[in-house]
Amino acid sequence: MALSVLVLFGLIGLAAVLLLLLALRPGITRTPEGKILAFMALVVAPGLALAGGAMSHLDDSKSTEFCLKCHVMEKYGKSLHVDDKEFLAAQHYQNNRVPRDHACFTCHTDYAMFGDVRAKMRGLRHVAVQYFGKAPEKIKLYTPYNNRECLHCHAGSRSFEESRGHRGEDVTMADLKSGKTSCLTAGCHDVAHGVDELEDVEFWDPAKSAETESVEAAPSGGPTDSTATEAP
């Protein structure tokens, strides 16, 4: 169990003990020390527990597992396993270009001042819609995808900077970095998740890939030369 969770349970336990003590011995609040204890029991301990719980849940909201808990997100989670290099999200996920346990949050957070806060506030709204409203049939981004989110990781990398596709006559590096030309332009990286195409694609199986790697890495059974003879 994570340390943060243990601390949170500790705060909740402390608040419960202090409140129980006040309930059993209300007379202790007549002394200055008792008033301090009452303040700790009624304000400080519950406040810390509440803040700790909120921080823990917000941190959990960064995980890919959390994002894919909603039924409407199942297709997007499935798209991460498409075995096709044209599927941008799948390639990033499968090749560890983004942390697999924080894949959604890594690409869908605005890397600007307060971007992290805005992403979490939107996430809370999504949770509210999941439980108290009706999720739309088709999910759309709030705003067009900003190249800034791609450049947060790719800017400065050799493969990105030296790519011929990023230095052509129609697409220049300056246009990409300024956002004049979108990375998701048709003919470039226009297939992100491709959830409408999942019926006709093959999927990557991590377990099968691991088995293949283990077989390839296994040592051979020794020389197979038919001319080899035993030593006398």
- The answer on pLDDT for 215 being more than 70 is no
User: Is the Cβ–Cβ distance between 50 and 14 less than 8 Å?
Assistant: no
The residue assigned the tokens 């705003």 is: 143
Give the domain range for residue 27: 3-60
Note whether 89 and 168 are same-domain residues: yes
Whole-number pLDDT of residue 6: 79
What is the per-residue pLDDT across 11-49, written as a single tens digit (0 to 9) for each?
788 888 888 888 888 888 888 888 888 888 888 888 888
Clarify whether residues 182 and 158 are in a common domain.
yes
Q: Are residues 8 and 91 in the same domain?
A: no
Written in H, E and C, the secondary structure of the chain is: CCHHHHHHHHHHHHHHHHHHHHHHCHHHHHCHHHHHHHHHHHHHHHHHHHHHHHHHHHHHCCCHHHHCCCHHHHHHHHHCCECCCCCHHHHHHHCCCCCHHHHHHHHCCCCCCCHHHHHHHHHHHHHHHHHHCCCCCCCCCCCCCCHHHHHHHHCCCHHHHCCHHHCCCCCCHHHHHHCCCCCCCCCCCCCCCCHHHHHHCCECCHHHHHHHHHHHHCCCCCCCCCCCCCCC
Do 96 and 19 share a structural domain? no
The number of domains in the chain is 2
Is the residue at 101 inside a domain? yes
151 found inside a domain? yes
Asked if the structure places residue 111 within a domain, the reply is yes
Label residue 177 by pLDDT band (50, 70, 90): very high
pLDDT tens readout for residues 86-108? 999 999 999 999 999 999 989 98
Same domain, 48 and 96: no
Residue 231, domain member (yes or no): no
Q: Would you say residue 220 lies in a domain?
A: no
pLDDT at 186 over 70: yes
User: What is d(CA 62, CA 101) in angstroms, rounded to the nearest whole number?
Assistant: 8
Is 153 in the same domain as 175? yes
Q: Looking at the structure, do residues 110 and 56 belong to the same domain, yes or no? A: no
Considering the domain architecture, whether residues 132 and 20 belong to the same structural domain is answered as no
Output the pLDDT for position 81: 96
Whether 118 and 21 share a structural domain: no
Residues 87 and 139 in one domain: yes
Whether 43 and 127 map to the same domain: the answer is no
**Does residue 209 form part of some domain?**
no
For residue 41, what are the β-bridge partners? none
Domain identity same for 81 and 195: yes
**Average pLDDT score, the chain:** 83
- 179 or 218: whose pLDDT is higher? 179
Which pLDDT score is estimated for 225? 47
Give 84's pLDDT tier (boundaries 50, 70, 90): very high
Q: Specify whether the CB–CB gap between 11 and 49 falls below 8 A.
A: yes
pLDDT at 232 over 50: no
pLDDT of residue 135: 80
Question: Of the residues 16, 38, 60, which one is the last residue of a structural domain?
Answer: 60
Question: Is 114 among the domain residues?
Answer: yes
- Unique residue bearing structure tokens 């690409």: 107
Q: How confident is the model at residue 226 (pLDDT cuts 50, 70, 90)?
A: very low
Average pLDDT, stretch 200-210?
A: 85
Nearest to 152 by CA among 187, 108, 218, 89: 108
- In tens, the pLDDT along 115-170 reads 777 777 887 788 888 888 888 877 888 888 999 999 999 999 999 999 988 888 88
Within a domain: 225: no
Angstrom distance (rounded) from CA 93 to CA 82: 10
